[in-house]
Structure 1
Amino acid sequence: MENEQEIVVRVKRFNQEKGEWWQEYKLKVDRFTQMTEVLRRIKTEQDPTLAYRASCHMAVCGSCAMKINGEPRLACKTLALDMVKKYGSNVITVEPMDFFEREKDLIVDMEDFYSRMFKVKPRLYPSKEVLEGKAEHRLKPEDQRELWKFEQCIWCGLCVSACPAVKIDPQFLGPAAHAKGYRFLADPRDTIYEERLKILVDSAWRCTYCYMCFNVCPRDVEPVTTIKKTRAHTKFLKERTPVAETGERHIEAIEESIRETGKIQEASVYLKTYGVLGSLIDLIYAFQNGKLKYALIKEEKVKNIEQVKKLMGE
């Protein structure tokens, strides 16, 4: 076939007996060849022991999530020659997703991911009247527009594999769970709003806003947007965790700093968020490393501060 090109696929293999090792395979592909097709051909034509997951080949099921040239991607949505062109090399590396425990080769254990997803109760809880057939729920077009993007999550796990907060904070539910949780939190037909809010708010304030989930999501779900929107619901929660309270103080401190100076004065915001006692350890660290002087800088207000206040609705 015309325009065929030979590629070298380096797969990070793994099994319980041997541990991990790299293995190379060579094959010819054309401009239409997806990475799922590459793996299928390797398995059927060269090495039947290679293990991977794939199902729909249409970016709907989320089964073929893995790292390709170090990027968290769906193999079915990745053309082999696109990777060659992007990286200027015919060598393509394929690895299992980060964070998850490996089962074999490119297959990872998704049990922890599913448990996080189910914690947010990922289904609609309608009213008693609807369940009894005495009424029906109608969804307004504007509500549907709000929910539609966040309904597109296919549970692939790529956002979780790329998320640094999940790796360091076991109490952070992860971006996928927040996307699914907010989808129902914002649904006016749902009847367990308070319960969902308790599940989601503390976790939402544990996000570090690195935007990795935004970058790797194959369906443009924007999980980080759902986390921001969930934080905005904190004011409706009667009992807040220390993490949520700290988060709200931080937002208030930023707003106050901008209102008064037109800038985000980091030192002032930090002190107002954590208080002097709460900041003491970090202040000592800053002093030891010669950085305390930056905290003592008194910046001037921006010119025309009244315009800033006007923009803030004052």
Structure 2
Amino acid sequence: MSEKEQEIVVKIKRFSQDKGNYWQEYKVNVDRFTQMTEVLRRIKTEQDPSLSYRASCHMAVCGSCGMKINGEPRLACKTLALDIVKKYNSNVITLEPMDYFQPIKDLVVDLDDFYDRMFKVKPRLYPDKEVLEGKAEQRLKPEDQRELWKFEQCIWCGLCVSGCPSVRNDPEFLGPAAHAKGYRFLADPRDTIYEERLKILIDSSWRCTYCYQCFNVCPRDVEPVTTIKKTRAHTRFLKDRSAVAEIGEKHIEAIEESIKDSGMIKEAEVYLKTYGVIASLTDLIYAFQNGKLKYAFVKEMKVKNMDQIRKIMGD
């Protein structure tokens, strides 16, 4: 081992149908240029050919090598081994399959559910008939291109879904990646199925809890949570809304009214306007049973200089 190399201990959470889950350790010498995909390649070729993992491009484009590295959803090819050693001040690096997905073999997970969600949003452009027949041409304006470009960068790696609690808790939520891809076409002026896309995306967009995990783990800085916020803004254009979307719209309106009136969000008032009296009474009983009812009666003072706040809000 050269002076510039360092030995690391790689703990891999392995899985097989016969053995189930188990941990296995390997030692590898790395330098400052060694990616985690290279670490895995060396282990497989030099120490243990039975190890299974996915990798292809080695340059953060294909999205194949998604996994948990020291508990964080990451692309192995975009992660340098010594960067992890430095970050955690330890030469021990753990590798696990992504959360949410069922492991097939070691670090390889079943992505069928992920792809099903992605294809539900119809991830392709549906242009005008004349364009398909070669009788017309559609060009994208620079301002439209700027709006779409960031969301074009999704590589279908699944890391955002792996880190998303809403996907686990709500089967009706399509997931961050699907929304990033769906909004990319919803906002494309060349697309011809706007109404159909809205019906697919709106209900799901209101099921996001804004935990920002997708924002934190995306290797391409796509910001899926931003596309969900932008999609919600289209709710007013949909005639037949689901109950979830209706409540979401009421919640936004209640927040806006509260800020215009007092300069702050009055939680109790907003809740009442959002969910109505009956639902609020039910939750009031729950709050009372858990000793939280006192917070509903906190007296709040109006913010000074309300004229400035209303001016910011466009009034």
The TM-score by the shorter chain falls in which range?
Answer: over 0.9
Structure 1 residue 279: Cα displacement? 1.8
**Residue 129, structure 1, aligned to residue 130, structure 2:** yes
| Residue matched to 2:232 | 231
* Deviations 1:192-217, CA, capped at 9 Å, x for gaps: 00000000000000000000000000
Tell me, in whole angstroms, the C-alpha distance in 2 between the residues paired with 1:66 and 1:142.
36
- Tell me the amino acid that sits aligned with residue 186 of structure 1: A
* Deviations 1:270-290, CA, capped at 9 Å, x for gaps: 111101111222211111122
Structure 1 residue 72: Cα displacement? 0.2
- Tell me the amino acid that sits aligned with residue 137 of structure 2: E
Tell me, in whole angstroms, the C-alpha distance in 2 between the residues paired with 1:259 and 1:132.
52
| Residue matched to 1:13 | 14
- Tell me the amino acid that sits aligned with residue 34 of structure 1: Q
- Tell me the amino acid that sits aligned with residue 262 of structure 2: T
Runs of 4+ in structure 1 over 6 Å off: none
How does the TM-score come out when normalised to structure 2? 0.99
Tell me the matched-pair count.
Answer: 314
- Tell me the amino acid that sits aligned with residue 267 of structure 1: A
Tell me, in whole angstroms, the C-alpha distance in 1 between the residues paired with 2:85 and 2:134.
57
| Residue matched to 2:36 | 35
Structure 1 residue 3: Cα displacement? 1.2
* Deviations 1:45-88, CA, capped at 9 Å, x for gaps: 00000000000000000000000000000000000000000001
1:51-90 equivalences under 5 Å are: 51-90=52-91
| Residue matched to 1:214 | 215
| Residue matched to 2:161 | 160
* Corresponding residue SS for 1:10: strand
Structure 1 residue 306: Cα displacement? 1.4
| Residue matched to 1:295 | 296
* Corresponding residue SS for 2:63: coil
Structure 1 residue 298: Cα displacement? 2.3
Q: Percent identity?
A: 82
* Corresponding residue SS for 2:25: strand
* Deviations 1:220-248, CA, capped at 9 Å, x for gaps: 00000000000000000011000000000
Tell me, in whole angstroms, the C-alpha distance in 1 between the residues paired with 2:281 and 2:38.
57
| Residue matched to 1:192 | 193
Structure 1 residue 296: Cα displacement? 1.2
| Residue matched to 1:23 | 24
1:87-102 equivalences under 5 Å are: 87-102=88-103
- Tell me the amino acid that sits aligned with residue 26 of structure 2: Y
Tell me, in whole angstroms, the C-alpha distance in 1 between the residues paired with 2:204 and 2:211.
15
- Tell me the amino acid that sits aligned with residue 8 of structure 1: V
How does the TM-score come out when normalised to structure 1? 0.99
Structure 1 residue 27: Cα displacement? 1.2
Structure 2 unmatched runs, 5+: none
Structure 1 residue 37: Cα displacement? 0.2
**Residue 142, structure 1, aligned to residue 150, structure 2:** no
- Tell me the amino acid that sits aligned with residue 103 of structure 2: R
Structure 1 unmatched runs, 5+: none
* Corresponding residue SS for 1:258: helix
* Corresponding residue SS for 2:148: helix
Structure 1 residue 297: Cα displacement? 1.6
* Deviations 1:139-172, CA, capped at 9 Å, x for gaps: 0000000000000000000000000000000000
Tell me, in whole angstroms, the C-alpha distance in 1 between the residues paired with 2:281 and 2:163.
32
Tell me, in whole angstroms, the C-alpha distance in 1 between the residues paired with 2:26 and 2:95.
11
